[in-house]
Structure 1
Amino acid sequence: MIVVIQCAGSKLANAGSLSTPDGRSVRFVAHPELAPDDGEFYARPDDEADKGRSWRDLLRDINRGLAAASPNLLTAGDLYRPAAYRGLLEYIGREKLYILSAGWGLIRSDFLLPDYDITFSGQADAYKRRRKADRYNDFSMLPPNSVEPLLFFGSKDYLPLFRELSADHLGQRVVLFRSAEPPDCPDCVAVRFETSRRTNWHYEAVESFIAGNLQLPVR
């Protein structure tokens, strides 16, 4: 089974970033034009970095060994602070874990990522919030031709991006939900997760999965 979990707002304190040609750290956000005027260098992942190459292109080159890595870049599986990510890494391994990032797309857990502050949450500051109409050249790193079941841990805000970036997956796709009514995802199998927790309830679902207590209709 392949597991996908949405990204988290809280990153490890030692997470590195990419740098401008003059040495400034890049703070990746959804809307730099709305960011505070505080002297920081804000950019979108698909903004130009240098010589017609976007920051996304640069990050791909870094991961391919074609460009020098910035100090302290962490892998996607190690970037986020909540314990659920480390728990999944230990339980299913790096090859089976993927991260759905609001800034970068559907990422392998061993892919180096910079610190960023992009989310689908409506409660976030406007400059951090990715909107449905925003255009991103998202990565989609699921293995081609795989027929393994795909299990998604995430909120309804991230479900459209999950469906889009996993649309070519040949195996069964299972999504969890906590609301009274299932989400609109006819191309996936929706499974209700019973919990009274409202915020980040999918972390509780991860704990249940790791403990072997999650009943899934996996073919």
Structure 2
Amino acid sequence: MSNRRMRHRAGSAAGDTPALQLPLHWGDDGLVAGVDEAGRGPLAGPVVAAAVMLDEQRPIAGVADSKTLCPARRERLYDAIMARALCVGVGVAEVEEIDRLNILQATLLAMQRAVAALRLRPSLVRVDGNRLPVLPMRAEAVVRGDATDAAIAAASIVAKVTRDRLMDALHACYPAYGFDRHRGYGTAQHLRALQMYGPTPAHRRSFAPVAHALTHAALAQPTVPLGQR
């Protein structure tokens, strides 16, 4: 493998301390996209996927698996990725699609949409995990790819930040559920809110705790922010 294919030079992103850099991988023509998702496990909200094509000439220090980063660092790296990447695509599968297709198929659909949203066509797509969406180009499944590949790690950051912002918007409609804190995951606080108020339209009815809550409560109605009344 050439030095060009393994090089990911150190740099700084919005004041971040330079960290160990993950390698970039390259397709036949040098164009590779990393793909990852956020939101497979929650009881509420969409699943979001991102596809990122990094620019070797504009490296970003500190890119890592989004799960290892604090929220403030994720936000800084998100801004750097959006400014320096060759291109970024985001795909979303909504709650209705999750319930209709199942969460795995909805996740693969979101990944397809993310790749389709790229303004450049990669010759290789590297996807975190062990399952691949159907794509019109060569693709590789990479287990733990968000910890070993810079483009996949960048995609994990974009997907996570995008989904967190969507959950913040849901929190504005349904403030009693705490979506801004648990992001839809089945925390004790979230399960108590489900028991007290019932599911919202943003909840995944195909997930067992939500299905159980549906048998005990009516569908919750949104709280419209004062400025929108």
TM-score by length of 2: 0.28
Q: TM-score, normalised by structure 1?
A: 0.29
Which structure shows the bigger proportion of residues in strand conformation?
A: 1
The structure with the greater share of residues assigned to helix is: 2
User: Who wins on radius of gyration, i.e. which is larger?
Assistant: 2
